[in-house]
Amino acid sequence: AQSVTQLGSHVSVSEGALVLLRCNYSSSVPPYLFWYVQYPNQGLQLLLKYTTGATLVKGINGFEAEFKKSETSFHLTKPSAHMSDAAEYFCAVRRGNTGNQFYFGTGTSLTVIP
């Protein structure tokens, strides 16, 4: 079975501080991993994804994530938080390159304090 666990339903950081949102996954096959962002009253938007190849992936808005197989983790980071980063973030997993279903974590709400 595929699933993701997001540690921390709420994270607060100061503007300019490091953002770290945690995601651990379980998968019976090599996973495809994703981070999505949801701004208030909007749908989800893809931030970045890991499929194969380089384990450090870069996304939009300065975010990046590193796939660590030994730790079954795919944490999302950004060196310097901006007020516009305040949103809900979801980690998701898909079963390799054949699965049609995506499994989402419960989400982490990021607050940026001025």
Partner 1 sequence: NAGVTQTPKFQVLKTGQSMTLQCAQDMNHNSMYWYRQDPGMGLRLIYYSASEGTTDKGEVPNGYNVSRLNKREFSLRLESAAPSQTSVYFCASRVSGTDTQYFGPGTRLTVL
Distance, in Å, from the CA atom of 96 to the CA atom of 89, rounded to the nearest integer, reads: 22
Q: Minimum CB separation from partner 1 for residue 93, in Å?
A: 11
Our CB check for partner 1 shows the closer of 80 and 106 to be 106
The residues that touch partner 1, with contacts defined as CB under 8 A, are 6, 9, 32, 34, 41-46, 49, 51, 90, 92, 94, 100-107
Q: Angle at Cα 46 formed by Cα 67 and Cα 48, nearest 5°? A: 25
Q: Minimum CB separation from partner 1 for residue 46, in Å?
A: 5
Q: Minimum CB separation from partner 1 for residue 9, in Å?
A: 7
Distance, in Å, from the CA atom of 83 to the CA atom of 114, rounded to the nearest integer, reads: 7
Our CB check for partner 1 shows the closer of 81 and 105 to be 105
Encode burial over 13-30: b for 16+ CB neighbours within 10 A, e otherwise.
beeeeebebbbbbebeee
Our CB check for partner 1 shows the closer of 7 and 18 to be 7
Q: Minimum CB separation from partner 1 for residue 90, in Å?
A: 6
Distance, in Å, from the CA atom of 60 to the CA atom of 8, rounded to the nearest integer, reads: 22
